[in-house]
Chains A and B, each alone.
Chain A
């Protein structure tokens, strides 16, 4: 189960580490370099196979874009993942699903979303149903009033808010 656009989805994405793992069966997220290899060998449909990046990933090395990208947080306090997401949305213009995976807890969801993530695989101990409340904790953000309209950073959430507040 994971959260996609503020809703719970019951599919699972299997996260394969650097050391590899089976690719078949359902949806799989591979380390970016493994993904490049897998795509080159046309092992799986691109629909079922995405790539994950470390928070320290150098965005200039994104030579080819998967349909689905993920950023792996070893610690939720690693702010690099937030900036990387903005770069991927903003500079690279990635339009697909962007996952936050790893040490992801409810208390980060709203910020992560504002940075461009729209999918969240929560840390195991988190209650996914309760976590949805986190998106409703604030219905005003100064930030949204400074965001360039039409930029990729207009998330589902901020658009909704803008409509609600009549801006």
Chain B
């Protein structure tokens, strides 16, 4: 965990005071709705269908037990007793009152939390690998760099009014779990031949109406220059990004319209200037951040205690271990994912009592630390493998023991038409209908890893483009229909899914998904060949035939 220092704390408290003043001026009629809107958005406050929605930042998905308890408390005190984790590793409260928001922010600041830049046309919460710092395949721990980017971007005076929102993700492992290629900037932390840390810089990825996979503009940027280089990219975007059409305002469109080469030249030219304005980083900068993170005091455990397969283990526990537990780089430790994808519950939702129980688990078993994944689940990152069974028992008792991480039912869904005023169609009921259809665990396990993502409209908050199966709500003469894409994937070889054909009414969606799965199972050469690979090999036709019949 990054532990706040005096200045970090002072800053968020002053931000609360500033926002309290802005809200008071708005409520007193001294600030017009037009003037207030950009100010409140920059502080995570939307006015939605039913009530204001507040999106609270969880920087790079790191959360302490202490903070989770505070979130539980807020959801109980000001909201309806639950919260919703988002695909940007944040949490949203859907039922607040505007007058109370400054008090909510005040409560948050007491545990080092805030809602700064969780929406609006500014640099958003930086995201990373949910297994950062513990994954066995990690080359560079991205957390320190994420924190540095958080500091650099927080209240950045020059980039508070960009053409459009701006998202940065950092990964430092062989496998990209942060989807860096579908971000405005994706940073792959790596080491050069002589072991120095640097970043491959990807720019111009993004989903939305025009899904594009990001491209490299610099193979290796030395860590010392990270901030001046980011400044240069952002300045080019801020000056030349389109402001005439909000659907063409993301940096991906600028990169596309200028061409990669011209865009890169512009950044390099700007960098010469920004290097004179932003100093290069020193070891001391990094060390002081590292110090604030601290290190969990791992015990020396033999790896033997890992493989302690007891015959008393229930099948459910075995399933859960197989799906929800991931390797940890320290001997005898594991990383346990808590699925928030139980059938019948909106993906990412958690009640306040569950939050408190999970916080207790974190204190007891995981050094008080938690993670939020971009797949809308929670993680107990550092648990002793021998404690898994006890953890499982507690999770079972609070209905959070669903053993489906990575499976079809572990789907990502945006809030959709139930909450979001931009939606064409609902997402959550569709997710639930599909979960119900596939609930039989054995069948699910046979299918194996599969990413299914649902968005309620083209804004693509549910990342449907990069789902192996993507579902998109479309409006057909006022009715809710769903368009299906297949073959998308995230990671360093990210790909955008392709539309299989005309869209479907809501009640047909589970059937269609089942047919697609059927073709996949039939066509795969082994259980290792994943859905996207099969689509790549056999093409769309077999899937279309199954779904639409032969024409």
Contact = CB atoms under 8 A, between A and B. Distances in A.
B156 interface: yes
B244 to A, nearest CB: 11
A38 to B, nearest CB: 28
Nearest to A110: B157
Contacts of A138: 11, 14-15, 18, 155
Interface string A96-140: 000000000101001111110000000000000000000001111
B276 interface: yes
A78 interface: yes
Interface in A134-163: 137-143, 146-149, 151-153
B39 A107 contact: yes
Interface stretch (B57-65, B159-167, B353-361): B159-167
A142 B151 contact: yes
Interface stretch (B235-243, B334-342, B343-351, B369-377): B235-243
Contacts of B227: 146
B14 A105 contact: no
Contact of B277 (A105, A113, A151): A151
Contacts, number: 99
A111 B11 CA distance: 15
Contact of A79 (B17, B238, B278): B238
Contacts of B39: 107
B162 A79 contact: yes
Nearest to A73: B161
B239 A84 contact: yes
Of B38, B155, B235, B239, which is in contact with the most chain A CB atoms at under 10 Å from its CB? B239
Interface residues of B, number: 36
Interface of A: 76-80, 82-84, 86-87, 90-91, 105, 107, 110-115, 137-143, 146-149, 151-153
The 4 closest A-B CB pairs, nearest first, are: A79-B161, A114-B157, A111-B157, A142-B151
Given A77-B38, A77-B121, A140-B7, A86 B158 contact: yes
A88 B215 CA distance: 31
Contact of B161 (A76, A87, A105, A151): A76
Contacts of A80: 238-239, 243
B157 A87 contact: no
A111 B15 CA distance: 13
Given A77-B121, A140-B7, A115 B276 contact: no
B548 interface: no
Contacts of A107: 22, 35, 39
A105 B35 contact: yes
Nearest to A107: B39
Contact of A78 (B22, B157, B243): B243
A153 B274 CA distance: 11
A133 B163 CA distance: 28
A115 B121 contact: no
Given A90-B273, A139-B10, A142-B152, A82 B158 contact: yes
Given A111-B157, A138-B11, A140-B11, A148 B279 contact: yes
B278 A147 contact: yes
Contacts of B238: 79-80, 82-83
Contact of A146 (B14, B152, B163, B239): B152
A84 B38 CA distance: 21
Contact of A90 (B14, B35, B160, B276): B276
